Amino acid sequence: MPFIASISTGLRGLVTGRGGSKETGRPGGAKGRHLSVDVKSQVSWRSLAAADDDQRRIALVTGATDGIGFHTACMLSAAGYGVIVHGRSASRVRNAVDRVNESRSFLDKFGKGGVVGAYVRDFDSLDDVRALARDVLDNHPRLHLLDNNAGVFEPSRHVTDDGFERTFQVNVLAPYLLTGMLLPRLATTASSDDESKHDEDVRILNVASISQLPHVNFDNINAEQKFTSHEAYCHSKTMMKLFSFELHERISRAVELSSYDELGDHDYFAMKTGCTELATAGARGLGSVLTMTCDPGTVNTKMLLAGWGPCGVETFDANDQFELLTDAKYRDEVKSHGAYHVNRTVRQRPGEDTKEERERLWRVLEESTGFEYPI
């Protein structure tokens, strides 16, 4: 993708404060549409360009107020995507919205980029996760990219009001629940877009980490027996990868089963799932949702600095998530489908060696959230 270096250079100026314009006093000199986040209520949303909403591709980035999530949101905006910004702090969401909009100036030829929605929701609460899904479903009729980026690295064990250790809830339960609620919308987006233009290229990226445990410790899911910051984080990223593997396998299996049913795939999904959106999407829509998981790279985010120290690249050079979300080769290369990527290359694919473990984990996630996927 030849324009990545161009965007990164511009974003480096935005992050470091170099390259600001005299007109605006802000890096990049972006003018025009800005979202003023109304934080009187828990949810804050306003369309910036309703006329463009049915033309541009829409991306939701969780944890988009700093670090790699913020950088990825800026990259997507600069590349012409309508970006939905999520964060847990109203002031940081407001700041991220302005700066993501500024990033559009680095590639004027794409013009349609910018923030189309901004939501303040805290994944410490599963009700807030459900509310974020409803925010998106109520306000955005199309969704092309879901970047499950939000995550925490906790210095001490904390139990949320939902009764789960915070690292497990934010890093695993929240993306499981959010993805499940948004999956029908992703599928209908894939089924309704123009295939000849590859607009149907719909993707879910589940951000794991190269820092993982060998296996899930089902006796210590909530760190009841033992807690260390590093072990809880690594454990959660092991689970995130396995969740992503199982999601890919479930989508593939549902599409395959529908192809054998004499009712046809649309009626099959209507009967089996009871989900109107999935019935509308059918096998073509659901089967076009590409699921991947990744290590985001060793990047000097607040999380890395807290746990490991300054041993990575700066955030404005952290392009792995952006490339996995947008580069056509990951859609075109079958080996990438469902796979775990490190340095943007396939490191592991779902297989029989993980089947028992990921299926058991899926049952834990269902029971913990009270949510069953419609596939």
Whether 97 is in a domain gets the answer yes
Instruction: Tell me the catalytic residues.
Output: 233
pTM of structure: 0.86
Digitized pLDDT (tens) for each residue of the chain, 375 residues in all: 555 655 565 556 555 444 433 333 333 333 333 333 433 333 343 434 443 455 789 999 999 999 999 999 999 999 999 999 999 999 999 999 999 998 876 654 555 789 999 999 999 999 999 999 999 999 999 999 999 999 999 999 999 999 999 999 999 999 999 999 999 999 999 998 555 444 569 999 999 999 999 999 999 999 999 999 999 999 999 999 999 999 999 999 999 888 765 556 667 777 777 788 888 888 889 999 999 999 987 555 555 455 545 545 555 677 999 999 999 999 999 999 999 999 999 999 999 999 999 999 999 999 999 999 988
Give the pair of three-digit tokens for residue 294.
């990744």
3-state percent helix, strand, coil for the chain, nearest multiple of 5: 50, 15, 35
Give me the domain span that covers residue 323: 42-369
Give the integer Cα–Cα distance in Å for 328 and 60. 19
Q: Which residue has the tokens 């006329």?
A: 51
Helical ranges in 221-264 per DSSP H: 229-260
Whether 14 is in a domain gets the answer no
Whether 375 is in a domain gets the answer no
Whether 9 is in a domain gets the answer no
Task: Look up the CATH number of the domain holding residue 347.
Answer: 3.40.50.720
Name beta bridge partners: 201: none
Whether 309 is in a domain gets the answer yes
CA atoms within 13 A on the CB side of 70: 23
Whether 365 is in a domain gets the answer yes
How many structural domains are present in the chain? 1
CA atoms within 13 A on the CB side of 136: 31
Whether 342 is in a domain gets the answer yes
Whether 10 is in a domain gets the answer no
- Cβ neighbours of residue 286 closer than 8 Å, sequence gap 6 or more: 187, 190, 251, 254, 255, 269, 278, 375
